[in-house]
């Protein structure tokens, strides 16, 4: 019997996720520990998308008929729910394809030049690294970064020196997708604003798992994806402070985002519509709204507490296995529910394959965070990530599977 407390009625939650009843290879039940890559979807989200297509399918913002009006109401209603969920104003929420596109939107509309600096960290997902590399290549700006410590936290000893009067923007993850580390984003934002720099937070791994308030964080931009928070693929969110969005040019252009079009030129709608060309993804927005409702009903404090208990259990269980090295912090302090590890003598891909044979789904590789793995002295790792539908028994199944992999490959007797 686990000594770790539960903060949700997990069995009731699991009943909402049809995929969790699947059997996997060799008749094993599914143990899904890859929510950091994408989450599973509850029936409430599936029903919301199906309901839109069955009852309300009309192009939002594009017609005077009832279906179009209903589509518009659903789409803008979803925007209002997302705004309330993160403590933003409705006009500060832009729908994008995903978090990656949200970050690129900022990177491609930002004015920068030689002499400017962009500050990032070694901890970043490639989605919050490569766009800034490209910005610097286009403009001649300089890319700088904060290093990580051996235990996987940000080295902030030289933060004030790294942020200078030339710093245009600081881009930082709100939670590492590899180590689960939660950097002090509010502290970084204050330091950046003191020097006149803007701040963008990659919240793809935080908004689904903990209470997030953009005002409390003090960030200027924040990006996340629906598919990691129980919602559908194909829709993401960019929060941007209203006055910043107002000053930004369009990223993509076409229909829906225009004000007046003449052969000689065009003018554009105010934000957020300025950044949403084409027919809006209303079904996806409906699914995202349902996901927000689902998480709100659970309570994000409860979600975070449940994941902390699972993470504490996993850290304890993996520490007991000889030959396993946990990457990143070894406690749950300022740490989310991602546990990456290496198994001595067994390649991560082999660990993942053995676990898959047992029905345990994890991720292997560099998790789109190659520089962080290099900084931690490994080429790749195996990663388990937890969410609302995971149980303590599944943590034990992970640990048992790792031991089995060690025996299978002769790494341990």
Q: Catalogue the active-site residues.
A: 368
By the 10 Å C-beta count (0-12 exposed, 13-18 middle, 19+ buried), 28 is classed as middle
Name residues whose C-beta falls within 8 Å of residue 193's C-beta, 6 or more positions apart in sequence: 199, 218
H/E element holding 289? helix 282-298
SS3 36: coil
Beta carbons within 8 Å of 123's beta carbon, 6+ residues apart: 146, 148, 152, 154, 172, 173, 176, 178, 179, 181, 183, 369, 372
Report yes or no: 241 and 222 within 8 Å, Cβ to Cβ: no
Angle at 121 between CA 116 and CA 127, to 5 degrees: 90
Q: Which of 107, 161, 160, 98 is CA-nearest to residue 130?
A: 107
Q: Which of 210, 310, 295 is nearest to 13 (CA)?
A: 295
The SS3 call for residue 10 is: helix
Q: Between helices 282-298 and 66-86, what is the axis angle to 10°?
A: 40
Query: What CA–CA distances, in Å, run from 174 to 137, 186, 262, 404?
Result: 25, 10, 43, 34
Element (H, E) at 356: helix 348-357
Are 366 and 383 spatial neighbours (Cβ–Cβ below 8 Å)? no
235, 223, 228, 212: which is closest to 169 by C-alpha?
Answer: 223
Pick the closest to residue 159 from 151, 167, 256 (CA basis). 167
Question: Using CA atoms in the order 229, 233, 237, 238, what is the torsion angle rounded to 10 degrees?
Answer: 120
Half-sphere CA count of 22, side-chain side, radius 13 A: 13
């Amino acid at each position: 019997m686990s000594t770790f407390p539960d903060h949700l009625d997990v069995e009731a939650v699991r009943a909402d996720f049809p995929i969790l009843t699947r059997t996997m290879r060799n008749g094993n039940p599914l143990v899904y520990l890859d929510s950091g890559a994408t989450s599973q979807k509850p029936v409430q989200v599936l029903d919301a998308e199906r309901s839109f297509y069955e009852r309300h399918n009309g192009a939002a913002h594009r017609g005077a008929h009832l279906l179009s009006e209903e589509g518009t109401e659903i789409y803008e209603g979803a925007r209002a729910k997302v705004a309330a969920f993160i403590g933003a104003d409705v006009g500060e929420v832009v729908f994008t394809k995903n978090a990656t596109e949200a970050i690129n939107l900022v990177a491609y509309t930002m004015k920068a030049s030689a002499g400017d600096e962009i500050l990032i960290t070694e901890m970043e997902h490639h989605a919050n690294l490569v766009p800034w590399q490209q910005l610097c290549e286009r403009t001649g700006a300089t890319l700088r970064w904060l290093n990580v410590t051996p235990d996987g936290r940000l080295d902030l000893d030289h933060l004030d020196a790294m942020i200078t009067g030339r710093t245009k923007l600081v881009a930082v993850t709100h939670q590492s997708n590899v180590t689960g580390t939660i950097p002090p984003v509010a502290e970084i934002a204050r330091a950046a604003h003191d020097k006149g720099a803007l701040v963008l937070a990659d919240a793809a791994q935080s908004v689904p798992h903990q209470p997030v308030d953009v005002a409390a964080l003090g960030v200027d931009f924040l990006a996340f994806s629906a598919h990691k928070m129980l919602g559908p693929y194909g829709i993401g969110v960019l929060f941007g402070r209203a006055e910043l969005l107002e000053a930004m040019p369009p990223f993509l252009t076409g229909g829906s985002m225009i004000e007046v079009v003449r052969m000689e030129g065009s003018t554009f709608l105010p934000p957020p519509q300025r950044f949403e060309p084409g027919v809006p993804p209303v079904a996806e927005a409906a699914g995202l709204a349902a996901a927000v409702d689902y998480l709100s009903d659970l309570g994000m404090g409860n979600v975070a507490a449940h994941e902390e208990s699972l993470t504490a259990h996993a850290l304890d269980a993996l520490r007991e296995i000889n030959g396993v090295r946990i990457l990143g912090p070894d406690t749950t302090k300022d740490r989310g529910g991602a546990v990456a590890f290496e198994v001595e003598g067994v390649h991560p891909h082999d660990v993942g394959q053995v676990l898959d044979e047992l029905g345990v789904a994890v991720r292997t590789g560099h998790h789109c965070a190659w520089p962080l793995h290099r900084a931690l002295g490994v080429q790749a790792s195996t990663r388990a990530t937890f969410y609302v539908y995971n149980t303590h028994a599944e943590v034990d199944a992970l640990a048992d599977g790792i031991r089995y992999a060690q025996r299978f490959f002769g790494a341990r007797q």
